[in-house]
Amino acid sequence: MSPGVVEQYQTKDFKSDLKPIWCPGCGDFGVLQAMYRALANIGRPPHEIAFVSGIGCSSRIPGYTTAYGFNSVHGRALPIAQGIKLANPDLLVLVAGGDGDGFSIGGGHVPHAIRRNMDLTYVVMDNQIYGLTKGQLSPTSPRGLKTVTSELGSFEEPVNPLLYVLAYGANFVAQGTPADMTGLAEVIEEAIRFPGFALVNVRSPCVTYGEEDQQIKAHRAHMKPLKSLGHNPEDRLAAMDLAQHYARELHTGVFYRSPSPPPTFDALARERQKERAGRGLPRERILDMFLQK
Ligand SMILES: Cc1ncc(C[n+]2csc(CCOP(=O)(O)OP(=O)(O)O)c2C)c(N)n1
Ligand code: SF4
């Protein structure tokens, strides 16, 4: 519980009646628990929250919460979430999905969501594999990984999601693992509280198709909390320096948090809307705000 926040909600208030159908032991169970904890601490009621996902095992997550949920189209969670936020800026909008969803088919949306800078929290469950479709290579799969689609091992370098979003200018970037539930819930809560686009990359193990060294036990043994390294999260270049080691190291915590977050797109849009209303202009459709006449 953050200081000054009245304890109004408990984790059970965010838990839907739907029983998760993930494989027993899947890391996404831990991400869901961390999400419940973070939301209980945030203290907003479920009807003020919209949870948008793409398609994948991880994208099932909105259905397991009592928030409004939109299990959308593979790779398209970000544009849909931005539309929801623009239409109703008062909603707390969360976005979730897998590494395939976010960095492969949906990869083109990430830089634009970052530069548009809406107040969204994007949680990627990065298991370095396509789980739902039975274990093919994903964009973050390590070089040499043998899967059903790469019998000789992957020939490609993995995408580095941390470096990629930092280089595109994301103002809040963190990483977590369900091997450290407290740390994971904390970074998700911090991302939600951050005013602007915030990304949490969660190394969420796929127990069915993932590698041995990407499982909870290995995470516990190897994770390196950034706090223990004395990292300054307000230093983007230092964050990028650490992020370079994504494929070899498991750094957890906040890589970068802008000390002076710029105004969000949704806040600017709201101001513009008020200005128009003040000039006595009609406000029938939200898209009117963007008509240049
Ligand atoms: C347009 C489109 N292309 C491909 C698919 C098939 N598909 C569904 S989920 C998925 C990848 C899932 O991997 P990821 O996003 O990493 O999520 P995970 O299942 O590992 O959580 C693919 C290729 C689809 N549903 N829609
Ligand atoms: S296939 Fe992997 S990612 Fe999907 S539910 Fe099973 S363990 Fe989780």
Q: What is the pLDDT along the chain (293 residues), one digit of tens a residue?
A: 454 455 699 999 999 999 999 999 999 999 999 999 999 999 999 999 999 999 999 999 999 999 999 999 999 999 999 999 999 999 999 999 999 999 999 999 999 999 999 999 999 999 999 999 999 999 999 999 999 989 999 999 999 999 999 999 999 999 999 999 999 999 999 999 999 999 999 999 999 999 988 899 999 999 999 999 999 999 999 999 999 999 999 999 999 999 999 999 999 998 888 887 777 655 556 666 666 55
CB of residue 28 inside a 6 A radius of ligand 2: yes
Locate the ligand 1 atom nearest the alpha carbon of residue 102 and give its number: 15
* 255 in the same domain as 214: yes
- Could you tell me if residue 138 is inside a domain? yes
What's 109's domain CATH number?
A: 3.40.50.970
Give the pairing type, strands 251-257 and 172-176. Answer: antiparallel
Identify whether residues 27 and 151 lie together within a single domain: yes
Rounded to the nearest angstrom, the distance between the alpha carbon of 146 and the centre of ligand 2 is: 17
22 lines ligand 2 (CB under 6 A): yes
Dist. CA 120–CA 273, nearest whole Å: 20
- Compute the distance from residue 158 Cα to the ligand 2 centre, in Å: 20
Asked, for residue 3, whether it belongs to a domain, the answer is no
132 CB less than 6 Å from ligand 1?
yes
Do 130 and 80 lie in a common domain?
A: yes
Sheet with 49-53, strands from edge to edge, namely: 68-71, 49-53, 92-98, 120-125, 198-202, 172-176, 251-257, 224-225
Query: From the CA of 23, how far away is ligand 2's center (Å)?
Result: 5
Please, which residues have CB within 8 angstroms of residue 164's CB and are 6 or more apart in sequence?
103, 110
141 lines ligand 1 (CB under 6 A): no
Answer whether 125 contacts ligand 1 (Cβ < 6 A): yes
* Shared domain check, 267 and 257: no
Query: If you ran DSSP here, which 8-state letter would residue 135 be given?
Result: S
Is residue 252 domain-shared with residue 268, that is, in the same domain? no
In a domain, 5, yes or no: no
3-state secondary structure of 6: coil
**Dihedral pair phi/psi, residue 278, rounded to 5°:** -65, -30
- At 241 the pLDDT is 98
pTM here? Answer: 0.93
Label residue 266 exposed, middle or buried (CB < 10 Å: 0-12, 13-18, 19+).
buried
268, 225: one domain: no
* Per-residue pLDDT at 285: 61
> Domain range for residue 274?
263-293
**125 and 180, same domain (yes or no):** yes
Has residue 236 been placed in a domain? yes
Here the tokens at position 207 are: 């127990």
Going from the Cα of 7 to the center of ligand 2, the distance in angstroms, rounded, reads 34
Determine if ligand 2 sits within 6 Å of the CB of residue 127: yes
